[in-house]
Structure 1
Amino acid sequence: MGTQTSGKYRGILAGQLVLLLILIALCELLVRTEVVSSLYLPAPTQVIKEMLELFLDSEIYKHIYVTLGEFVVGYGVSVITGIAVGMFLVLVPWAEKFFRPYLSALMAIPKVTIVPLLALWLGIGVIHKISIVFLFCFFTIAINTITGIKQTADQHMKVARVFEASRYQTIMKVILPSAAPTIFAGLRISAATGLVGALFGEMLASKDGLGNILVKATSLYNTAQAFGIVVLVTLVSVLLIALIDLLERKVFMKWKSS
């Protein structure tokens, strides 16, 4: 059975790779035959060439470091505060009824309308970018935490009460493991949107970061380099989500098996 499942997954992976290669070859053909102008859609080989040139230029590493630094700090703060706020609103009986309207109202405000105000209040430095990442991540994590905790099975809570578990033990051994799948779903979504938030902030006002390079590339009509930055950001997002998946398997699956 395990061999059949492994073979099935290998077949799916092979199919995905074949489809990707077909799409890349089709794009290359359309551009090379000038059916589509390279100004609008660069040839994949040109994108790869631009990416290689970016990495050969040591300057790109500084920009990657800046963007990832902004993301990590903003995302880390949003994870801590989002989970803490979500737990507080559910576990404190009166808190959700009192604060939920405020949370919903703040979440409904379009983030793009707040970004210029953040620049006015905080300037256009690193704190500005970190705040944007926080805004893009916090509400998703908080809402998913609330939803996940509410899905805790009643029988699990009854068992905890039968064994006279303390409040701390109930939270750590029952509530968080039950809510973990929903919380991690929020973490995956917010990881991708948070990186976009960092890029968005850099595109508005920054001298460093991948967003700054993207703005320069588009202003110079260097479409291949712009696509290269988009591909790079996409790969970083995929890596971040893979790391979160690994954390879920190592932590949540350990709780589940125990």
Structure 2
Amino acid sequence: MTIPEQDNPRKNQSKGSGKPDRSFYEKHDGLILGGSAVLIALTVWQSFWSAGLIDPLFLSGPSVIVTRFAHELNEGNLTHHLSFSAKNFLTGFSLATLLSVPLGILLGWYRIPRLILEPFINGFYATPRIAFIPLIIMWFGIGLGAKIFIVFLSVFFPILINTIHGVKTTDPQLLKAARSFCASEWEIFRSIVLPCTVPFIVTGIRQGVAHGLIGVVIGEFFVGSDGIGYLIGEGGTMFETDLLFVGVVVISFVGIVMAQLLNRVTRYFDRWRSQT
């Protein structure tokens, strides 16, 4: 006599959806493991600080940093510095994106101009932007223009290079098939090249965000008296490590949030590219 197999809801659901159900841990393992690691590191750090094993001249404890953050937020100029840095970043980032994406598409599509400009692009991209700061100060002074231009340089080349690479890696079989049906250059670009290039543009923007945040800190650190970069420099100059870490934490938090958002956008366009 054969015993009928009992229904297994998880198994039945797996058959219906084609994918096995995942537990809460499996769905959020990155957040759980990463968050646990951060909490453990902060606990150990605070334990060393509370035990007096850390010299406050060289490093502060998490509790002191949180207290200083609250003080700067409520009674200090943290909001002013943050808004100033945001204005620098958004202006430089927007200008770089608006210029680098069309230029990257053109250089990726037309071979001769790309070969002419490629040595200059690679040379500027490989050169640390901090090396241009004395020259930028000579050109723009120490005002807002210098800080925006540093962010612009930091963002421009990652987006440009990724856009060029995206156009160059368009499937030649798709281009050949489109031309065999007498499609115009604009139709080929709109229906084939652009959809294949968008994921690379998003990847370049993601890299540009990281480089742009570095440019914000560098520009404000060396030029001017406002912004998160200036706050970090002031903390280091005055040996106020708690103030220094307030600026570092703010920049890190902004970078993490923007990276996570852009990662989601990148995954979406990667799926879109696979369907085109």
TM-score by length of 1: 0.90
- Say whether 1:71 aligns with 2:89: yes
Higher relative contact order (CA 8 A, sep 6+): 1
Which of 100, 105, 111 does residue 82 from structure 1 map onto?
100
Larger radius of gyration: 2
Change (3 A) 1:126 1:19: same
Question: Using the alignment, how far apart are the partners of 2:57 and 2:183 within structure 1?
Answer: 65
Hey, what does 1:112 align to over in structure 2? 130
Q: Percent identity?
A: 25
Question: Using the alignment, how far apart are the partners of 1:251 and 1:166 within structure 2?
Answer: 25
Hey, what does 2:28 align to over in structure 1? 10
Amino acid corresponding to residue 218 of structure 1 in structure 2: G
Amino acid corresponding to residue 176 of structure 1 in structure 2: L
Provide the secondary structure at the position in 2 that maps to 1:4. coil
* Gaps in structure 2 of 5+ consecutive residues: 1-18
Amino acid corresponding to residue 183 of structure 1 in structure 2: I
| Superposed displacement of residue 48, structure 1 | 1.2
* Gaps in structure 1 of 5+ consecutive residues: none
How many pairs does the alignment contain? 258
Hey, what does 2:257 align to over in structure 1? 239
Matches within 5 A, 1:161-180: 161-180=179-198
Hey, what does 2:234 align to over in structure 1? 216
Q: Does the CA-based 8 Å contact 1:177-1:256 persist in structure 2?
A: no
Hey, what does 2:247 align to over in structure 1? 229
The root-mean-square deviation of aligned C-alpha atoms, in Å, is 2.2
Hey, what does 1:95 align to over in structure 2? 113
Question: Using the alignment, how far apart are the partners of 2:225 and 2:122 within structure 1?
Answer: 35
Larger deviation, residues 244-253 vs 174-183: 244-253
Which of 22, 38, 55 does residue 73 from structure 2 map onto?
55
Provide the secondary structure at the position in 1 that maps to 2:53. coil
Question: Using the alignment, how far apart are the partners of 1:109 and 1:189 within structure 2?
Answer: 16
Measured against aligned partners, the alpha-carbon deviations of 1:59-94 in whole angstroms (never above 9, x if no partner) come to 322211111111111111111222222212121231
Q: Does the CA-based 8 Å contact 2:108-2:168 persist in structure 1?
A: yes
Question: Using the alignment, how far apart are the partners of 2:51 and 2:25 within structure 1?
Answer: 39
Larger deviation, residues 50-59 vs 122-131: 50-59
Hey, what does 1:30 align to over in structure 2? 48
Hey, what does 2:14 align to over in structure 1? none
Amino acid corresponding to residue 8 of structure 1 in structure 2: E
Question: Using the alignment, how far apart are the partners of 2:33 and 2:269 within structure 1?
Answer: 31
Change (3 A) 1:65 1:2: farther
Q: Does the CA-based 8 Å contact 1:177-1:252 persist in structure 2?
A: no
Question: Using the alignment, how far apart are the partners of 1:90 and 1:14 within structure 2?
Answer: 41
Which of 128, 131, 151 does residue 133 from structure 1 map onto?
151
Change (3 A) 1:54 1:89: same
Amino acid corresponding to residue 16 of structure 1 in structure 2: G
Hey, what does 2:221 align to over in structure 1? 203
Which of 168, 171, 175 does residue 150 from structure 1 map onto?
168
Larger deviation, residues 70-79 vs 35-44: 35-44
Change (3 A) 1:128 1:28: same
